[in-house]
Amino acid sequence: MLELGSTSLIIVGAVALIAVVCLAYAVVLRRQVLAAGEGTRAMQDIAQAVQEGAAAYLNRQFRTLVFFAVAVCLLLLLLPGDTGIKVGRSVFFLLGAGCSAAIGYLGMWLATRANLRVAAAASLPGGRAEGARIAFRTGGVVGMCVVGLGLAGASIVVLIWRGDAPAVLEGFGFGAALLAMFMRVGGGIFTKAADVGADLVGKVEQGIPEDDPRNAATIADNVGDNVGDCAGMAADLFESYAVTLVAALILGKAAFGEQGLVFPLIVPAIGALTAILGVVITRVRGSESGLAAINRGFYTSALVAAVLAAVAAFVYLPSTFAALPGVGASLADHGGDPRIVATGAVLIGIVLAGVILWLTGYFTGTTSKPTQHVARTSRTGAATVVLSGIGVGFESAVYTAGIIAAAICAAFLLSGGSIVLALFLIALAGCGLLTTVGVIVAMDTFGPVSDNAQGIAEMSGDVSEEGARTLTDLDAVGNTTKAITKGIAIATAVLAATALFGSYAASVSEALADLGETVAGATGVTGAMLSYEIINPVTLVGVILGGCTVFLFSGLAIDAVTRAAGAIVFEVRRQFRDNPGIMTGEVRPEYGKVVDICTRDSLRELATPGLLAAFAPIAVGFGLGVGPLAGFLAGAIATGVLMAVFLANSGGSWDNAKKIVEDGHYGGKNSDAHAAVVIGDTVGDPFKDTAGPAINPLIKVMNLVALLIAPAIVTISVGDDANHAARLGIAVLAAAIAFGAVVMSKVRAARVDSAARLEHEMELVRD
C-alpha cells in the first residue's frame, strides 16, 4: 500500500480543516438569510404551504430510496477484492448517498424560506440589491455545504486508507451519483408536471397569469422548483464534486504516486476558499443587472483560484517527474516539469468553466440574439417558436461539446502524448473546474428562489408594481443562471466520465495481470471481448448501445413528465369546472390534491430510469465483454454531452423568450404571441429541468458501475476459472431487469392513456 509522508498528511489534514471552515461559513450565511424580513401574513401562508409540500415530497422520496441504497450497499460487498476495502467502500457508499441527500434537503429547506424573504425585500428601498443578495447567499449556503462535505469525505478517506483511498472513494462517488440521479429524475418529474399542467390550463385555457392563486397547480409548481432545481441540482453538483475527486485520486496515484493522491485535494480546497470570496463580493451595485454582479463574483473567484493553484503546484510538486516518489515507470523519463503541467491542467478547467458560462449565457440570455430570435418567431405561432428553440439547442450543443473536446485535447497535448498522464490531467482539469463550484451552486439556487419569490408575490398580491418588476428581472436572471450551471455541470460530468474511463481501463489491466493475461495475448471470441479497438464490430456495438441508452433514458424521463402533467391538467380542469367560484375568487382551489398527484406520479416513475442506468452496463459488460463495455461508455459520454446541452439550452431559450414577450414585446401578455411562447416554454420544461440535467449523473453512474464490475467481468470471462454460463446468466438477468422496467413503464403509459380517454368521454357527456 502507498504510504503518505508527514508533509502530505499535514496537507490532507489542512484540507479537512478547510472543509470545516466552509461548513461554518454556511452556518453564518444561513443566519444572514433567515434574519431578513418575512413579509406579510398572506406571503407567509403561501410560503408555509410550499414548505410543507416540499418537505413531504422529499421525506417520501427518501423513505423509498433508503431500501434501494441498502440493497446496493450489500451488493458491493459481493464484488471481488480485499475485505477491508469492500467494507470501507460500502460504508462510504452510504455516506456519499447520505451527503447527497442531506445537501438536497438543506437546499430545499432554506430555499423555501428564502423565497419569502426575497419577495418581501422586493418592495423595499433598494429591493433589487437586497433581493439578489438574499437569493445568492441562500445558494452560497448550499455551495459551501457542497464543497465542505465533498472535501471532508475525500480527506477523511485519504487519512484513513492512505494509498487504498481511491478504491474506497469509488463507493463514496457511486453513492453520491446514484442518489443524485434519483433526486434529479424524481424532482424533475414533479416540478415539470406541475409547471406544464399549470401553464396549459391556467395561461392557455383560462388566460390567467402564471402564478394566479386561482390555479390549483400553483403551489405544486412552486414546490417543484424546490425539490427539482434546489434539492435535485444541489445533489447533482455534489456528486459531480465527489466523482471528479474520485477519478482524480485514482489516476493521480497511478501517474504521480503520493503527490498525485494529495494534489487533487489541494486544488478544490483552494476553490473552497475562493468560493467564500466569490459569495462575499457578489453584490448588485445600483441599477446594474443581477447577472452582471454574479458574473463579477464568478470571474473574480476563478482568477484568484487560478493564481493560488499555480502557487500550490510550484510549492508542493517537484521540478522533474523522476523526483516524484512512486511515479509510474512510463513517466520517470518524461522531460516536462510536473509543476507547469499540473498548473496548465488546472487552468484548462478554470478557463473551460468561464467559457461555458459565457457561451450558455449567450444562447439563453434575454438580451442575446438567439433568444431574441426565438421570441420574434412568436409572431408566426407556436410551431415556429418550437422549431427555432430546437435550432438554438442543436447549435449550442455543437459549440459546447467542441469546447469540451478542445479542453480534453489541450490536456492530452500538455501530457506530451502519455495516455496515463493525459487522463490524470483531464481529471485535474475537472478539479480546476470544481474550484468554481461553490459559486456555481449559488448561481443555480438563485434561480428557483427568485422564481418562487415572484410566485409568492403574485399569489399574495402584496407587492408593489415596482417590486413586481424587480422580481420579474430577478427571475429572468435566474433562468440564465440555471442554464449556465447546467452547462457547467455537463462539462464536469464529461471530464469526470472521461477520467473514470481511464480508471476503468486501469482496473481491467490490473484484473488481467492478476490472472496472468493481457489484452494483446487474448485471441478468438475472448480477444474480441477484451479489445478496445473501435474497428472491432463488437466494440462498435457497445458504442451504439451506449448512445441508445442515453436516448432511451431521456425519452423515459420526458414520457414520465407527459403522463404526470396530463393528470395535473385533468385535475385543474375538473376544479375549474366543478367550482365556478374559483374564477371569481369566492372558492379556494384544492392545492393539496395537485401536490399529492405530483408526488405519487413522480415517485412511481422514479424506478424505470434508475434501473436502466444501473443494469444496462452490467448487461453489456457481462454479455459482450470489457471491450464492448468500454465502447458503451464512450457512446454514452459522446451522446450524453450533446443531448444534455441540447435539452438544457433549448429549454432555457424558450423560457426566456417567454419572459421577453411577457415584458411587453410582440403583443405582451394574453396575446397570440404570448400563447405561442407559453407552448414553447411548456415543451422546454421537461427538456431543461428533467431529462437534460438527469443525463449528468446518468453517465457517471454508468461509468462507476462499469469501474466496479470490471474485475468481476474479467474473472468470469478469462482464464481457467472462466464460467461463460454464469456470465451470460448475469447478462440476461440484468437485461431483463432493465427492459422489464421499460416495459412496465409502457404498461403504465397505456393505463394513463385509457384513463385520459375515459375522462375525455365523460367531459363530452357532461357538456
pLDDT of residue 755 exceeding 60? no
Q: Which of 217-231, 424-438, 729-743 has the lowest mean pLDDT?
A: 217-231
Residue 590: left (phi > 0), alpha (psi -120 to 50), or beta? beta
pLDDT of residue 763: 56
Q: Is the pLDDT of residue 249 over 60?
A: yes
Rounded Cα gap, residues 59 and 761, in angstroms: 37
C-alpha cell at 333: 523519463
Chain centre to alpha carbon of residue 533: 31
- Percentage of residues in the chain with pLDDT exceeding 90? 9
Across the range 728-737, mean pLDDT stands at 90
Instruction: Give how far Cα 705 sits from Cα of 75, 334, 342, 433, 509, Å.
Output: 12, 33, 28, 24, 17
Rounded to an integer, what distance in angstroms lies between the CA atom of residue 700 and that of residue 191?
Answer: 23
Q: What is the distance, to the nearest Å, from the Cα of residue 266 to the centroid of all Cα atoms in its chain? A: 24
Q: Which of 637, 615, 689, 736 is nearest to 68 (CA)?
A: 615
* Phi-psi sector, 239: left (phi>0), alpha (psi -120 to 50), beta: alpha
C-alpha radius of gyration, the chain, whole number? 25
Does 756 have pLDDT greater than 70?
no
Whether the pLDDT of residue 147 is over 70: the answer is yes
The mean pLDDT value for 249-260 works out to: 79
Average confidence (pLDDT) over 746-760:
62
Question: How far apart are alpha carbons 614 and 632 in whole angstroms?
Answer: 13
> For residue 725, what is its C-alpha cell?
454460463
- Nine-digit cell string for 490: 455537463
The amino acid present at 33, given as its one-letter code, is V
pLDDT of 732 reads 92
Mean local confidence (pLDDT), 357-362: 83
Q: Say what the pLDDT of residue 335 is.
A: 66
Mean of per-residue pLDDT scores for the chain:
82
Residue 387: its pLDDT value, please?
92
Whether 534 shows a pLDDT value over 80: the answer reads no
Q: Percent of the chain beyond pLDDT 70?
A: 91
Is residue 104 a part of any domain in this protein? yes
- The total number of structural domains that make up the chain: 1
Is residue 288 domain-resident? no
Asked whether 184 and 693 are in contact (CB, 8 A), the reply is yes
Quote the cell numbers at residue 561: 413528465
For residue 183, which of 116, 88, 106 has the smallest C-alpha distance?
Answer: 106
- At 546, the pLDDT band (50, 70, 90 cuts) reads very high
- Top pLDDT among 196 and 359 is at 359
Q: Which three cell numbers stand for residue 607?
A: 424506478
**Closest by Cα among 206, 208, 224 to 573:** 206
Residue 347 predicted with pLDDT over 90: yes
- Answer whether residue 474 shows pLDDT above 90: no
- Looking at residue 215, what is its pLDDT? 79
- Of the listed ranges 201-205, 577-581, 595-599, the one predicted with least confidence: 201-205
pLDDT of residue 21: 92
- The pLDDT value recorded for residue 487 is 76
For residues 110 and 551, what is the distance between their CA atoms, to the nearest angstrom?
34
Specify the pLDDT at position 748. Answer: 67
DSSP labels for 180-207? HHHHHHHHHHHHHHHHHHHIIIIIIIS-
Whether 712 is in a domain gets the answer yes
Residue 403 burial (10 A CB sphere; 0-12, 13-18, 19+): middle
Say if 555 falls within a structural domain: yes
DSSP conformation letters of 591-619: HHHHHHHHHHHHHHTSHHHHHHHHHHHHH
Q: How far is CA 376 from CA 113, 373, 390, 680, in A?
A: 37, 5, 15, 13
Position 88 confidence tier, pLDDT thresholds 50, 70, 90: confident
Provide the residue range defining the domain that includes 571. 6-283+293-766
pLDDT of residue 643: 92
**pLDDT at residue 753 is higher than 70:** no
pLDDT at 575: 82
Taken in order 530, 620, 173, 68, is the CA torsion positive or negative? negative
pLDDT digits (tens, 9 = 90+) for 299-331: 888 899 999 999 999 998 888 877 766 665 666
Mean pLDDT over 672-680 rounds to: 86
Residue 87 has pLDDT above 80, yes or no: yes
**Is there a domain that residue 724 lies in?**
yes
Q: Which three cell numbers stand for residue 553?
A: 433514458
Residue 686's pLDDT band (cuts 50, 70, 90): confident
The C-alpha cell at 337 is 516539469
Give me the amino acid identity at 546.
G
CA atoms of 704 and 503, how far apart (whole Å): 10
Q: Kindly report the CA angle at 225 between 104 and 494, in degrees rounded to 5?
A: 60
Overall average pLDDT of the 177-198 stretch = 81
Overall average pLDDT of the 174-202 stretch: 80
Q: What is the pLDDT of residue 18?
A: 92
Question: From CA 617, how far away is CA 767, in angstroms rounded?
Answer: 52
Query: Does 203 fall in a domain?
Result: yes
pTM > 0.85? no
pLDDT for 696 equals: 82
pLDDT of residue 545: 93
Judged against a pLDDT cut of 70, whether residue 399 lies above it is answered with yes
Question: What DSSP character marks residue 205?
Answer: I
